[in-house]
């Protein structure tokens, strides 16, 4: 297995290769390409945040660049390359300001069920300075980002709105949690659900607001897994203890399912700190639910969703313990 330093070096080499291959386009204050579709809402400065489209300098089927469901089996380098190839246009807005031309354009893009031909102009050339940005760009706790610049104009064409998302968007009497579950039941992928949630397209009209992308992912996973766990309570319990294992991207999981008539879920993590020491953390909930924000943040909700979905498919219930070992603390 490659060391963190080796992986980081390859990522930076691939990043330089990308910049050189697209230097002509990235040296301009404009870009055109097929957005996956992708919209990003930042969290720094909340409630005033930066939001904008993410556009690669290529045309065609770019879906995989921003659809995490397609990343299973992909390497760290491949996933990082997907993200680094997206150029972000940014404009500042208060999360409660839910009207405006730019925001409407973002919502039309977010609703699209296929890549959208997109054009953007910027106030200045996209920023791509590795030396100043690499600590953020190659941090393992957040998705890496490509070049970014303040947005001047944006337009997208070849848009095809997903009718399921469109229906939920225009139903302003439907609570956000109910809208999330309705979309999930109708087969909309979670990556699409959290995207439209982030741009304030779901929920009661009076409550709609922008939600930073990172938070919208956790909120989507939390809502779906909580509802599934509650629904699973009506199912019979598993008969025997079950142990499953899974590994991906230097994360090793052991999942223990325990016969029980009452739902409970615990996640225990271990990882290496920057000085080589082993650190641990744990979060637990019983049938009453989680009474605090988990120390493992979004990873907790993602793991809980995977377990709840597994039991729902089998029409069974169980208590669960998830052990996660992170062998790379930062890249």
Question: What is the average per-residue pLDDT within 71-85?
Answer: 88
CA 227 – CA 67 distance, rounded (Å)? 23
- Per-residue pLDDT at 136: 44
Q: How far is CA 216 from CA 115, 180, 193, 282, 324, in A?
A: 21, 11, 9, 22, 23
Confidence of residue 15 (pLDDT cuts 50, 70, 90): confident
Share of the chain above pLDDT 70, in %: 92
Average pLDDT, the chain: 90
Q: Evaluate the CA torsion angle 223, 226, 227, 228 in order and state its sign.
A: positive
pLDDT in tens, 162-181: 999 999 999 999 999 999 99
Whether 106 and 113 have beta carbons less than 8 Å apart is answered as: no
Sheet with 48-55: list strands edge to edge. Answer: 30-35, 116-122, 148-157, 87-94, 48-55, 39-41
**pLDDT(16) > 90:** no
Strand partners, 127: 148
CA 188 – CA 202 distance, rounded (Å)? 14
**pLDDT(198) > 60:** yes
- Per-residue pLDDT at 165: 98
State the helix-helix crossing angle for 213-232 and 298-314, rounded to 10 degrees.
30
Domain boundaries, the chain: 4-160, 164-232, 242-326
| Nearby residues of 134 by Cβ (< 8 Å), 6 or more positions away | 12
Question: What is the average per-residue pLDDT within 230-248?
Answer: 97
Query: Any idea which of 70-74, 221-225, 259-263, 314-318 has the lowest mean pLDDT?
Result: 70-74
Whether 171 and 200 have beta carbons less than 8 Å apart is answered as: no
For residue 192, the SS3 value is helix
- Which DSSP state fits 130? H
For residue 88, the SS3 value is strand
Phi and psi torsions of 169, nearest 5° = -65, -45
CA 35 – CA 59 distance, rounded (Å)? 8
- Per-residue pLDDT at 231: 97
CA 319 – CA 307 distance, rounded (Å)? 10
Half-sphere exposure at residue 76, Cβ-oriented, CA atoms within 13 angstroms: 25
pLDDT in tens, 289-331: 888 899 888 999 999 999 999 999 999 999 999 999 988 654 4
pLDDT in tens, 103-157: 999 999 999 999 999 999 999 988 764 433 443 444 545 566 788 999 999 999 9
Between residues 278 and 15, which one has the greater pLDDT?
Answer: 278
Whether 158 and 116 have beta carbons less than 8 Å apart is answered as: yes
């Amino acid at each position: 297995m490659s060391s963190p330093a080796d992986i980081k070096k390859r990522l930076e080499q691939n990043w330089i290769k990308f910049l050189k291959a697209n230097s002509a386009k990235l040296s301009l204050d404009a870009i055109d390409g097929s957005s996956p579709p992708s919209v990003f809402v930042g969290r720094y400065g909340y409630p005033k945040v930066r939001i904008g489209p993410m556009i690669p300098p290529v045309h065609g089927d770019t879906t995989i660049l921003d659809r995490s469901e397609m990343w299973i089996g992909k390497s760290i380098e491949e996933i990082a390359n997907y993200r680094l190839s997206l150029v972000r246009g940014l404009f500042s807005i208060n999360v409660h300001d839910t009207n405006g031309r730019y925001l409407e354009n973002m919502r039309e893009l977010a609703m699209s069920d296929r890549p959208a031909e997109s054009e953007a102009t910027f106030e200045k050339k996209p920023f791509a300075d590795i030396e100043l940005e690499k600590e953020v760009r190659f941090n393992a706790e957040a998705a890496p980002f490509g070049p970014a610049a303040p947005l001047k104009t944006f337009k997208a064409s070849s848009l095809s709105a997903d009718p399921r998302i469109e229906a939920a968007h225009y139903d302003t009497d439907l609570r956000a949690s109910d809208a999330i579950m309705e979309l999930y039941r109708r087969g909309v992928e979670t990556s699409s659900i959290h995207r439209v949630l982030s741009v304030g397209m779901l929920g009661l009209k009076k409550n709609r607001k922008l939600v930073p992308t990172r938070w919208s992912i956790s909120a989507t996973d939390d809502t779906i897994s909580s509802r599934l766990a509650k629904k699973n309570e009506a199912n019979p319990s598993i008969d025997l203890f079950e142990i499953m294992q899974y590994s991906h991207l230097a994360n090793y999981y052991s999942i223990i399912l325990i016969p029980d008539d009452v739902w409970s879920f615990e996640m225990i993590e271990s990882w290496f700190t920057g000085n080589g020491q082993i650190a641990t953390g744990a979060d637990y909930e019983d049938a009453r639910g989680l009474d605090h924000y988990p120390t493992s943040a979004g990873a907790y909700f993602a793991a809980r969703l995977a377990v709840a979905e597994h039991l729902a498919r089998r029409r069974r219930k169980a208590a669960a313990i998830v052990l996660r070992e992170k062998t790379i603390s930062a890249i």
